[in-house]
Amino acid sequence: MSENQPAQNPAIVFREETSDWAILFNPQNGCTFGLDPVGVLMWRNIDGVKTLSDHVSAVRHACEGVSTNVAADVQSFLADLRDNGLVI
Amino acid sequence: MPSTLPSAMTTPRYVDLEITGRCNLRCSYCYHFSSPGDVGHELTTSEWLDFFEELGRNQVIHVMLGGGEPFCRKDLPILLQGIAANRMRFSIVTNGTLLDETTAAMVKATDRCDMVYVSLDSYRAEEHDVFRGSGSFADAARGLEILRAGSVPFSIRMTLHKQNYRALRNTADFALQRAGADYFSANEVSYFGLCRANVKDLILSPAERSEAMTELFLLYESYGDRVKAFAGLLSEAVNWVRMERNRQGHAEPEEGFGCLAGCTGIWDTLAIRADGAMTPCVQLNHIVLGWVNNDEVAQVWRNHQELSRLRAGRQTSLGTFATCRDCEYRRWCKGGCPGLAQSLLGRDNVPCSETCLRAHYMGGGTLPQPAALPSD
């Protein structure tokens, strides 16, 4: 496990609010973090093994009309998760 | 405008638990006693713990413990540990009189407590005790001190009635300055439970309600977000002020207004009676949707026809009701609380007369003109 291979924080509750939107809930501090369908896809793929480029590929594979900035977007998303203690 | 129904969440995000039906007090306006939730039987420790596991599996994130008086349960430490073990947070609604250093430390130690809501009806003992019982102010004040000393997050909730609404300012000052509460909020007594037998002495008139609303906005100006408007009279005042401004400005109505959409709880919250009955709300606790540890929460939440019926209120235009048809506020109104409508009118699928702005005006009420509105 490293910064390049993020893993889900096991304390976090992944709550599927609807069929494709979700929130991440940290019961230790009560904070919630909303996930859109792409965020849900990425969260499910975070396993402590996959790298940034794996996540970028997964998004490209699953989504249509992906932005040319997708790598930066994915990196930013993972940084947000890390900053909020959601991944380790 | 009536709208297409949004999808309900896959499971409830929040659950309100009447963790016990017992209480050491008999407040004259208690919503619980003599309501359908006033049942003799309550779930055992192991039954609650089994249920908390199911809530955890369903990714419920918060439970509100009320009743009854939660601190009447001697097994509360075990129950709170069960809630925390299943990755939920909790809040407690209490009269504060049974708190001691040990219980406060226990609550703190869980590290999962969002708030302890303590009922306090006045800064003066005689005014608090008149409907809650002799000595209850002293006991509650001691409880508040214990919570503060133990660094437990706590909030004071004042229940407004004819005898105490003029003490609003001083009670809020007491709560936020002297007692050191994180927040202050004010509900008003309503047509539930024991209050139904004491309406004449308790329920605010439109003029009294107007006075209390004005004071609440002034308190908000003084204390900002430490005065909460998530429910109760300030919340209602905010809704009414918005409705009046929208009417005067001929604002385009937003989706979800002009129909029976006053209840948001049926979209994210389930309630459980002390005996384990699942209900849509503590104020609609005559509707039994299923039974704890017998029926699956997720199935009840998604498929029960009574919840579907209540949610479908959003497709019922207020214009279909004779009481609303010619109302100039109708397009910006949501019809109020179905639980209160049930209690007052015997039906939950009609607009609630008690939270009607036009009825407030017709009864002699006025609306404050606040400089700023609380966000929620």
Q: How large is the ipTM?
A: 0.90
Inspect the interface and report whether the beta carbons of B13 and A17 lie closer than 8 Å: yes
Question: Does B197 contact chain A (CB < 8 Å)?
Answer: no
Give the model confidence (pLDDT) of B111-133 as tens digits: 999 999 999 999 999 999 999 99
Residue B198 has pLDDT above 90, yes or no: no
Cα atoms in the Cβ-side hemisphere of radius 13 Å centred on B5:
16
Give the closest of B61, B111, B114 to A15, CB-based.
B61
Q: Is the pLDDT of residue B84 over 90?
A: yes
- Percent of chain B topping pLDDT 90: 86
Structure tokens at B31: 């919503």
B30 pLDDT higher than 90: no
**What's the mean pLDDT in B83-109?**
97
Q: Do B61 and A18 lie within an 8 Å CB cutoff?
A: no
Please name the member of B61, B84, B114 whose beta carbon is closest to the beta carbon of A13: B61
| pLDDT surpassing 80 at residue B6 | no
Average pLDDT estimate for B141-159? 98
Rounded-to-integer distance, Cα B328 and Cα B318, Å: 11
**In this structure, what are the phi and psi dihedrals at residue B282, rounded to the nearest 5 degrees?**
-65, -20
Compare CB distances from A18 to B7, B61, B87 and report the shortest one's residue.
B7
Side chain identity at B301, as an amino acid letter?
W
Percent of chain B with pLDDT over 70: 98
pLDDT tens across B326-349, in order?
999 999 999 999 999 999 999 999
Record: contact A16-B59, CB cut-off 8 A: yes
Q: Does the pLDDT at position B191 exceed 80? A: yes
**Length of chain A measured in residues:** 88
Query: What is the per-residue pLDDT across A19-65, written as a single tens digit (0 to 9) for each?
Result: 889 999 999 999 999 999 999 999 999 999 999 999 999 999 999 88
Q: Which residues of B touch A14 (CB under 8 A)?
A: 59
Band of residue A3 on the pLDDT scale cut at 50, 70, 90: low
Partners of residue B59 in chain A, C-beta under 8 Å: 13-16, 25
pLDDT at B288: 98
pLDDT at B3: 57
Residues 6+ apart with CB under 8 A from B186: B157, B158, B159, B160, B168, B172, B212, B216, B232, B233, B234
For residue B201, the model assigns a pLDDT of 87
- Record the tokens describing residue B329, joined without a space: 């506020």
Q: How far is CA B40 from CA B18, B22, B28, B76, in A?
A: 13, 9, 20, 19
Name which of A11, A16, A30 is nearest B114 (Cβ-Cβ).
Answer: A30
Question: Does B193 have pLDDT greater than 90?
Answer: no
pLDDT for position A1: 43
How far is B35 from chain A, CA to nearest CA, in Å?
Answer: 32
Cα angle at B303 between B302 and B306, to 5 degrees? 110
Q: What pLDDT is attached to residue B1?
A: 54
| Tokens matching residue B183 | 């927040």
Q: What is the 3-state secondary structure (H, E, C) of B298-339?
A: HHHHHHCHHHHHHHHHHHCEHHHCCCCCCCCCHHHCCCCCHH
Q: Is the pLDDT of residue B9 over 70?
A: yes
pLDDT tens column, B296-328? 999 999 999 999 999 999 999 999 999 999 999
